[in-house]
Amino acid sequence: MTQEPITNWLGRQETLEEILAPGPAQGLAATLNLDPENFAAEGAILPPVWNWLYFLPRAPSRQIGPDGHPKRGGFLPPITLARRMWAGSRCTFHHDLHIGDRATKTSTILKINEKQGRAGTMFFVTVRHEIRVDAILAYEEEQDIVYMDIPKVFTPPEPVPLPACTWHHDVPLDPVLLFRFSALTFNGHRIHYDRDYAMGVENYPGLVVHGPLQAILGFHFACLEQPDRKPQAFRFKGVRPLFDFDALSFNGAQSEPTNTQIYAANGDQAVTMEAQMTWA
């Protein structure tokens, strides 16, 4: 698959430093129909998973691959399978991040596993991220990235029915929402905004809704339902692709005193993402 053993990437680290400026948070707030002024002032609390707007890879245009992602290699292993996706994450929140913080993010490749699935050979790469402010650990995440070939025909997995829930929020989908989120996260992956590429090259039936966008929305609605509680941990995994022509809803229920189960679902009430919030 590569010119050198993929195991050579195990333990590889990357450290980035960034001031958590108000602009990205204000842009996401506007995209989610929140008040951008809530994130204008230095010291405003940044919702924990909104750190995904920062520490972004900014590859020069000459280093972009045909899918719109940076070319393979560098920090992540140069796996040649054509499709690369963020499959899920497990996040722990230790201290609040604030607008204006000078933060340091250290990423380490923990695992690289090859598996055989319904779609053929797949590689799963697990990356650990730690964000510190003044050397104090504020945020931890284990992120799973999956690599696979592009199937000749799109075949969705068997639907997982939406279970009974106690709250529900609908979110309108359109290409503008997907484009704005791609821009905010500097994500050039063409499946989210280039319909000809998404359908003609990657064989999807439409534009693909970002996994982290669904995760951020699920996190947001769980906090909206329990505004007096403080998030301690959050985990999510993709279950089924979601497209711009679908209906989208977020649904949740308390599973035990400290946990809320969260589900994104399409118009057929099939789960597209499962998540869990743990409250302090």
pLDDT at 1 over 50: no
CA distance 117 to 120: 5
Residue 144 sits in the same domain as residue 157? no
pLDDT band at 60, cuts 50/70/90? confident
Domain-terminating residue out of 149, 165, 200: 149
Q: Are 223 and 264 in contact (CB under 8 A)?
A: no
Q: What is the pLDDT of residue 3?
A: 56
Residue 13 sits in the same domain as residue 135? yes
Q: Are 59 and 2 in contact (CB under 8 A)?
A: no
Residue 216 sits in the same domain as residue 137? no
Residue 133 sits in the same domain as residue 185? no
- Average of pLDDT values for 26-37? 96
CA distance 253 to 174: 27
Residue 102 sits in the same domain as residue 176? no
- Average of pLDDT values for 224-237? 96
Going across the sheet that includes 120-133, the strands are: 13-19, 102-117, 120-133, 136-148, 83-93, 231-238, 271-279, 259-266, 248-256, 167-170
Two tokens, residue 217? 């929305």
Residue 132 sits in the same domain as residue 176? no
Residue 129 sits in the same domain as residue 192? no
Which is more confidently placed, 213 or 67? 213
Residue 139 sits in the same domain as residue 158? no
Domain-terminating residue out of 123, 149, 175: 149
Number of domains in the chain: 2
Residue 162 sits in the same domain as residue 280? yes
pLDDT at 33 over 60: yes
Residue 100 sits in the same domain as residue 200? no
Residue 87 sits in the same domain as residue 192? no
Q: What is the pLDDT of residue 144?
A: 97
Two tokens, residue 67? 């899918």
CA distance 137 to 42: 20
pLDDT at 24 over 90: yes
Q: Is 265 left (phi over 0), alpha (psi -120 to 50) or beta?
A: beta
pLDDT in tens, 244-265: 999 999 999 998 899 999 999 9
- Distance set, CA 176 to CA 24, 34, 182 (Å): 17, 16, 10
Element (H, E) at 267: none
Q: What is the pLDDT of residue 2?
A: 42
Contacts of residue 66, Cβ cutoff 8 Å, sequence gap at least 6: none
Strands (E), 149-258: 167-170, 231-238, 248-256
Q: Are 74 and 9 in contact (CB under 8 A)?
A: no
Residue tagged 């790469």 (tokens): 125
CATH no. for residue 123? Answer: 3.10.129.10
Domain that holds residue 28: 1-149
CA distance 154 to 34: 35
Domain-terminating residue out of 134, 149, 164: 149
Residue 203 sits in the same domain as residue 247? yes
Q: What is the pLDDT of residue 135?
A: 94
Please report how the helices 22-31 and 175-184 are oriented relative to each other, as an axis angle in degrees rounded to 10: 170
- What is the average pLDDT value for the chain, to the nearest integer? 94
pLDDT in tens, 67-89: 887 877 778 888 888 898 999 99
